[in-house]
Amino acid sequence: MLGVELLSLVVSLTPAEKLNRQIVRVLTSFFCGKLDDMATIKPALNGLATLTLLQSFSPVEAVVTIEAIFRHIKMKSIVQDQRFKVFSIIDSVMAFHRDVLKNMGKQFLDGYINLAEGEKDPRNLIVAFAIARVILIEFDISGHVESMFNILFCYFPITFRPPPNDRYGISTDDLRMALRNCLNATPAFGPLAIPVFLEKVSAGSRVTKKDTLQTMAVCLPVYGSALARVSARKLWNALKLEIFQPVDPETEQEALKTTQILVKTIYMDEEEALEHDEDIQGLARDACEECVHILKEPEKTQAKPAIKILCTFMTTTPSVARYTISQAVPHLVRLFLTPDEASTREPTLLLLSDLIAAARDSTKKSSLEDADPPLLPYKDEVLGVFIVGLKLITTRNAALSGLKVMATTKRLLSDEELGFIVHNVNEIIQADGEELYESIEAILEVLTIISDIAPRHVVEQTLPLLSSSLPDTAPARDDATGREKCWQTLTTLSKLCIQTELFEQLVIRLTTKLDLLCFPSSEQMLSVSADPEPTAAYAHMILKALAQALSTKVKGKHPDIAKYLDRLVPIIFNVFVSSAFLSEEQMIVAKEPRLVQVAAEIINFVVQSVPSEKQRFYSVELSKAIIDGNVSTIAEGFQKAAKSERFSIFDASTTSAKRNILALLSAAVISLHKEARLSLRDVSGFLEMLLRWVLDIADNDIQKLAALHIVSSILNRQVEDLSVFLNTKLDVYWNTEIVNDASPLPRRRWAIKTWIWITKALLVRKHPLAMKLTEQLYDAFDDEAIGWDAAKAIGQIPSPDTVLTKANHAEVKLIPLLLRGLDLPDAEIRSNIIDTFLAAAEGETPEKSLVAEHGVTLVNAMLKNCVSNDVSSTQVRISALRYLAVLPSIVRYDILHPHKATVLRELAKVLDDPKRAVRKQAVDARTNWFKYKG
Amino acid sequence: MSAPGHFIALFHSSQMPGEIFNPNPVVFSTSKSAARQSDLLAHSLWVTDSSQSEDEADDVEPIDQDEIYDLIRSIYDPEHPNTLEELRVVSAPQVTVGPNSVKVEFTPTVPHCGMSTLIGLCIRVRLLRSLPERFKVDIFVKPGSHQSENAVNKQLNDKERVAAALENPVLLDTVEQCLSNVGARGIV
């Protein structure tokens, strides 16, 4: 026995080229001779396994080996790893000498079936299934269909579950797929397989149902249309049950998919033969009738699965789709026009809308994409029904969703018909009233879709309608309704005018209105001067609407935003710069800081969307404005004042209104690319000047923050040129402005804010100094006057902001610092810090989580923060609960598992929080922890 | 006294494949909570970005009818892919809240509905997980809406039977399925 083992080992270690034919032949017959002895069977199999892989292993040896295996091996009396060798040997022979096995014919098939029967080990089965697939596809199995069927279908459905600490790396799915590849390897299995499938699908567990449905989906096309046709009734009855009474949504989906494949399998063959308008017979017809019958009660639950089936039919074959639509659409149209009860109209329209959406999607990504849409023959009736539905409040939203589908179906509606829809939608807008706002989102969606295809209708019909309802002068102070209406109209406009041409119109109309409001004619001047606030508030709304539309466009990365650097930004500058000048001599509307802030937002949106090439030209002009006070080129517009005069923002003698303009300039500066930075002779000097200006001259928060934003963004982009500033000037600043208790308190507070913005700039770049500057703040904690502000600063440094956007994960380095901050008594700081954690959680997964190592600390800190007490606030509790709710999705279960019970227990207390919003978050967080499992 | 097992048995009988108690109930459209009209402009001339103003006020907001209804409206019916709200099995007026007690009444879609116990159990589990412990929760079928009204009510309000039922993994799994979307609620 030792000899055989030694020999087998030697063979496995000998280089392949040393083992010639002669040697292989001798060795093969030697090892085969040892297969009949239980004591030597293991090394003999090992030896043979090595030999079968060799090139010098010839067909003669292949036959000898296989015959010896069939003769001597009793699978039931050997252990798993030996059986694995047997399968491996057969697998190798199958790979290199397949014809030899084919020539063995019945002898091989009988032998193999006998051998493979009853195998249970998943590792062996993976090999056995691979061998079986080759046999089924390539061998003549006509005499062995039933026995092959028996040794394969006995495993279906796979119920194997890998043990915990699975060492073999074979999953349930691996086995399922391998088996499935056998079950669908030959049409011969069809008649035997169908009854098995039917039984498993109806009696099985959820998992079995799903597996069976998926297996049917891959088998039915192989088994062929003839079998599908004769089994259609039985199959449909089983599938139907899974759709009308689904155990879960996933199974329902699988059943629908299998139904689709069944119908395709039945009708694909005859598709060619069918005439265009010929009726279809068989399953599709019967099932269609059944579903249409159910749709007679559109308000009942069963109507939904029925329409899902009809929708599925749309993606089978063209003739079935044609037939389905010809049955279902006229039926639903009739039902809408002559309902038993008015209340069934809404569900009818929703069903119709689902069906035509499926019709629309059925031709996507297929050769039919350029063909006429399937709905075309019924277009007029369907459009008519939706237009009627639009007029009634109860069916309006359903009608709008149908119209949306029609408008998005290619080549369905003519330009004229799209105009007709716009016209009818406009009538609702015009009628106004309370109920308009129930449908406004859906209305906007339809108009937006149409404005993408045919903007003319919306530009010519809807825009004038909406903008004409905006008054030229502001609603009076006591006219709250008028103000409300203005804002609603502006909101509608800002949502509607996103498409290129519409936005262009919006900018023209709103900037004209803005100019009129900010520079009233002499007749109006008197009344506006008497009470300017309503006018300022109205101008503010207009700016807000522009900012909202731009924000949507920025999110959609619209390329047309850039051109508004020439069309919108100068006008905004013009209005505000002129106002700043004129404010010295007369009452002015646009000097109100709130207006300046929205104007800054607008400028920021546009400039950030301008490519750096174009920004470079702009930044030259911007530099002139900032350094020399020459605004003539960046502020071109209706008003002359901005062009002729010069102003020096940083001069101590300038007015506050003029200083406010820095907010607009800053909004442009912070969105410049690195290559398009300001042209400054002495960058460090400029920053020092700004820091002084913040503390000595600037007289309100807007100005100060504008300056700090400029400092921060310059530092962020040009840090390498500023080492002197960072290494020496900052130390001086710290000593003279922050820790110097002779300095007045407000001044020291602004010095800390400055510190925050400098540190932020470095942190985003992961500059090593960021940590040092943050740590330095801890030194100021003991200071009686500013300790509090220094503590707050810790929370603010890593929190997201709109200046240094593209927040990256730089914060992560700060985790230990932030965790310390969570113990601070101030609720606002804690809330800030938790929000920072929440922002960092986006994109985290249990597999790749940067907070995992602090998971336990975080759980405890959050639990402490979600309790209602004197040092807590609603906001901090909500934030802490939101973070607790997120943790299960970003930290592996094994890390937090020991704390699950504690979290659930502690959260149970929070369910009694005095605030509703907190309780809601607590319920959600607790639900997530209940679901948190390994 | 029937053993807790009776609860499970009753549930199991309703799990027989293919047996459906109400195959085709009516689905009602649900009320999206009406978009609150911004009343900002009535108080102030200015539009603002957020309305986080009164959050920090000291007033206590007690748990009320709407809040409890909001917790249970999105529970799925065990037989249909619809919510209890859509099938009008539950509604806000059927919830009564006292200082330390909650009463929930629900209406089975058909009087012989074998799913009633399960529906009630789902409501109980949801409230068990979402309400403070001080609340005593009573769950009843609407009087006259079910053949075995008393039996169902008894099972739903017997602590031991409920606890025993929830130890049955198959039953718990079904309950979890019904609760899979409860976070949706009505007000988004």
Coil/strand/helix, residue A674: helix
CB–CB of B134 and A912 under 8 A? yes
CB–CB of A540 and B18 under 8 A? no
B101-106, strands of its sheet edge to edge: B95-97, B101-106, B136-141
- CB interface of A with B, residues 247-306, below 8 Å: 248-249, 252, 294, 297, 299-304
Examine the pLDDT at A855 and tell me if it is beyond 50.
Answer: yes
pLDDT in tens, A194-234: 999 999 998 878 899 999 999 999 999 999 999 999 999 99
CB–CB of B18 and A202 under 8 A? yes
Closest-CA residue to B182 (of A147, A928, A903, A102): A928
DSSP for A305-366, written as a single string: HHHHHHHHHTTS-HHHHHHHHHHHHHHHHHHHHS-SSGGGHHHHHHHHHHHHHHHHHHTTTS
B29 close to A (CB below 8 A) = yes
**Would you place residue B15 in the very low, low, confident or very high pLDDT band (cuts 50, 70, 90)?**
very low
Q: What angle do CA A840, A845, A850 make, to 5 degrees?
A: 50
CB contacts, 8 Å: A915 with chain B: 55, 60-61
**Would you place residue B12 in the very low, low, confident or very high pLDDT band (cuts 50, 70, 90)?**
very low
CB–CB of B26 and A299 under 8 A? yes
Residue A129: its pLDDT value, please? 97
Lowest mean pLDDT among A754-758, B111-115, B124-128: B111-115
**Would you place residue B106 in the very low, low, confident or very high pLDDT band (cuts 50, 70, 90)?**
very high
Contact A78, A118 (CB under 8 A): no
A-B contacts (CB, under 8 Å)? 99
**Would you place residue B187 in the very low, low, confident or very high pLDDT band (cuts 50, 70, 90)?**
very low
pLDDT in tens, B75-102: 999 888 889 998 999 999 999 999 999 9
Rounded Cα–Cα distance for residues B167 and B116 (Å): 19
Cis omega (within 30 of 0) for bond into A157: yes
A468's tokens: 């004409």
Closest residue to A927, CB basis, from B37, B56, B129: B129
In angstroms, the separation between the Cα of residue A513 and the nearest Cα of chain B is 18
CB–CB of B56 and A246 under 8 A? no
**Would you place residue A151 in the very low, low, confident or very high pLDDT band (cuts 50, 70, 90)?**
very high
**Would you place residue B6 in the very low, low, confident or very high pLDDT band (cuts 50, 70, 90)?**
very low
pLDDT in tens, A630-689: 888 888 888 887 666 677 889 888 899 999 999 999 999 998 988 888 988 899 999 999
Query: Of residues A194 and A436, which shows the higher confidence score?
Result: A194
Examine the pLDDT at A36 and tell me if it is beyond 50.
Answer: yes
CB–CB of A249 and B81 under 8 A? yes
Residue A704: its pLDDT value, please? 96
Contact A284, A252 (CB under 8 A): no
Domain ranges of chain B: 1-11+61-178
pLDDT in tens, A236-295: 999 999 999 888 889 999 999 999 999 999 998 777 666 555 678 899 999 999 999 999
pLDDT in tens, A698-750: 999 999 999 999 999 999 888 888 988 888 888 899 999 999 989 999 999 99
Examine the pLDDT at B28 and tell me if it is beyond 70.
Answer: yes
- Tell me: domain B1-11+61-178, CATH 3.30.300.130, correct? yes
Contact B167, B155 (CB under 8 A): no
CB–CB of A301 and B26 under 8 A? yes
pLDDT in tens, A327-382: 999 999 999 999 888 889 999 999 999 999 999 998 876 666 678 899 999 999 99
Residue type, A799: S
Closest residue to A248, CB basis, from B17, B27, B177: B177
**Would you place residue A783 in the very low, low, confident or very high pLDDT band (cuts 50, 70, 90)?**
confident
Taking CA–CA distances from A904, the nearest residue in chain B reads B129
CB contacts, 8 Å: B26 with chain A: 299-301
Examine the pLDDT at A556 and tell me if it is beyond 80.
Answer: yes
Rounded Cα–Cα distance for residues B105 and B110 (Å): 15
CB contacts, 8 Å: B27 with chain A: 299-301, 303-304, 347
Residue B5: its pLDDT value, please? 42
Examine the pLDDT at A74 and tell me if it is beyond 90.
Answer: yes
Examine the pLDDT at B1 and tell me if it is beyond 70.
Answer: no
- Cα dihedral B51→B53→B58→B63 (10° resolution): 0
For chain A, give the percent of residues with pLDDT over 70. 97
B188 close to A (CB below 8 A) = no
Lowest mean pLDDT among A563-577, A810-824, A875-889, B125-139: A810-824
The β-bridge partners of B106 are B141
Residue B55: its pLDDT value, please? 54
Mean pLDDT over A592-598 rounds to: 93
Closest residue to B132, CB basis, from A301, A911, A930: A911
For A91-97, which contacts have Cβ atoms below 8 Å and span 24 or more sequence positions? Answer: A91/A127, A91/A130, A91/A131, A92/A49, A92/A52, A92/A53, A93/A52, A93/A62, A93/A65, A93/A66, A94/A131, A94/A134, A96/A52, A96/A57, A96/A62, A97/A59, A97/A62
CB contacts, 8 Å: A437 with chain B: 35, 37
Lowest mean pLDDT among A499-503, A762-766, A884-888, B45-49: B45-49
A435 close to B (CB below 8 A) = no
Rounded Cα–Cα distance for residues B87 and A367 (Å): 42
* Residue A370 exposure: Cα atoms within 13 Å on the Cβ side: 1
Examine the pLDDT at B41 and tell me if it is beyond 80.
Answer: no
Integer CA distances (angstroms), A280 to A318, A332, A762, in order: 11, 21, 72
Average pLDDT, chain B: 80
Residue A156: its pLDDT value, please? 93
- CB interface of B with A, residues 153-182, below 8 Å: 177, 182
Top-ranked range on mean pLDDT: pick from A12-16, A149-153, A888-892: A149-153
CB–CB of A873 and B182 under 8 A? no
Q: Give Cβ neighbours of residue A56 (< 8 Å, ≥ 6 apart).
A: A16, A19, A20, A21, A23, A24
Mean pLDDT over A417-424 rounds to: 96
**Would you place residue A910 in the very low, low, confident or very high pLDDT band (cuts 50, 70, 90)?**
very high
Closest residue to B46, CB basis, from A477, A594, A919: A594
Residue A275: its pLDDT value, please? 59
